[in-house]
Amino acid sequence: MISRLLGAGLCAFVIVEGTARAHPPEKLTLQSALELAEKQNLDLVAARARHAVAAAGVEIARQRPNPSVNFNALRDEPHEGFWFTQPFELGGKRGHRIAVADQESKLTDVEITTLERQIRRRTRAAYYALGFARAESERRGHILTLAQRLQQIAQDRFQAGDVPQLEVIQANLEVTRAQADLKVAQQQEKTSLSLLNALLNEPPTTPWELGETLYQLPPEIPLAELVQLAYASNSELQHLTQEQKVEESRRGLLRAERIPDLDFEYGLDFNSPRDFRVGPRGQLSLTLPIFSRNQGQIAQSSANQRMLEAEAAAAKRSVTAAIETAYFDLGAQRTQVETYRQTLLPVAQQLEGMAEDSYRAGKADILVVLTAQRNVQDVERSYLDGLVTVQNSFAALEEAVGAPLEQR
C-alpha cells in the first residue's frame, strides 16, 4: 500500500514537473515592460512614498494657532485671575502658507516624474540589452554551425588526401573556440535577463519571450515636434518652473507676514474684596512692524526668482541643444544600421558562402574560409552593436524630451 502511494506521488511529481517545464515563457512587449516597471520598480515605490510626506506638509500648513490658558494667584488684589489668549492670523497668512506647502508638494511630484523618466530609459535599455544578448547567442550558435560544417569538410578532404592534417586541426580549433564563445554568450544572456527582472521587480530567473526584436527600429519623429514637446515635458524645465512657483508663493507669504497678528485676551479676575468678587478682563495686543518687516527675506526671495528665471532660460537652450544632438546622433546610427543591413551584411555573407564552396571544391585553402568567416562575424557583431546603439540613443532622446515617444 505504501509503495503504491509513493509510486503515485512520484508520478504526480513527474507530471507536475514536466508540466512546469513545458509551460512556455510569458510574452513581454516593450510597452508591458515599461508598465511593469512603472508599477513595480522599487526605486519608484520608495520615491512615491515621498508624496505622502509632502501631503502631510500641506496638512501642517493648514493648522491654526492654539489658544493659551493662564491662571495666577497673587498677594495683591485681585488675588486670583483666570484668562485665555487666542492669536488671530491677519493678512491671509494661513492661505499663503498652504499655497507654499502645496507648491512644494507639486515640486516633489516633479522629482518623482523625473525618476519615472529615468526608470523608463533604464528599462528600455535593459529590454533591448536582453534582445541583444539573445541575438548574440543566436549569432554564436550560427558561428558554431559554420565551424562544424567547415570541420566536416576539412575531415572529408583529409580522408580523401586533398589536404594535410593541419587543416583538420585548425578546423577543430575553430569549433572549440565557437563552443566557448557560445557558452559565454549564453551566460551573458542570463545576466541581461536578471538585470531586466531587477528593474521590473520580478524573480531573477523569470523567463520572458520578447515581443519586440532588436531589429525593429524606433519611429522617426520630426525635430521641431520633439523640441516643442520638450518645452512642455522636459523634467529639468519642469523642475525649474515649479521652483519659480514655490519661490513666488514663499514671497507672498513673506509679504503677508509683514501684517502683525492680533492677540485677543479674555478672562476673569477674582477676590478683590474692596471692589468685586468676580470681574471680567480683556486685552488686545499687536506687534508694531517698525523695525523688521521681512525686508531682507523679500529681497532674497526676489533675487532667487531672478536667478531661477535666468537658469530656466539657460536650461531651455541647453535642452534644445541636447535634443538636437541626440536627434542627429540617432539619425547617424540609423543610417549606419541600414547600410549594414542592406549592403555590408549581405555581401559579407555572400563572400563567406563563396569561400566555403571554393574550399569544398578544392579551389581555396582553409585560411581563405576562416578569413571570410571572421569578416562576416565582425560585420554581424558591428550590425548588432549598431542596433542596440540605435535603441539606446532613442531612449536618451526620449528622456531628454521628457515624454513617451513610442505612441506618437
Cα 315 from chain centre: 21
For residue 160, give the 3-state DSSP assignment: coil
To the nearest 5 percent, what fractions of the chain are helix, strand and coil?
Answer: 70, 10, 20
- Model confidence over 317-341: pLDDT tens digits? 999 999 999 999 999 999 999 999 9
Residue 190: name the closest of 211, 212, 205 by CA.
Answer: 205
- Model confidence over 215-255: pLDDT tens digits? 989 999 999 999 999 999 999 999 999 999 999 999 999 99
Distance (Å, whole) CA 156 – CA 274: 134
Cβ proximity of 199 and 365 under 8 Å:
no
- Dihedral (Cα; 370, 374, 377, 379), 10-degree rounding: -130
- The three three-digit cell numbers of residue 127, written as one number: 529590454
- Model confidence over 54-100: pLDDT tens digits? 999 999 999 999 999 998 888 878 878 888 999 999 989 999 999 99
Q: Is the pLDDT of residue 1 over 60?
A: no
- The three three-digit cell numbers of residue 99, written as one number: 499655497
Cα-Cα end-to-end distance for the chain: 67
- Model confidence over 166-204: pLDDT tens digits? 999 999 999 999 999 999 999 999 999 999 999 999 999
Cβ proximity of 402 and 117 under 8 Å:
yes
Amino acid occupying residue 376: V
Amino acid occupying residue 254: L
At 69, give phi and psi (nearest 5°): -115, 135
pTM of the model: 0.83
For residue 74, give the 3-state DSSP assignment: coil
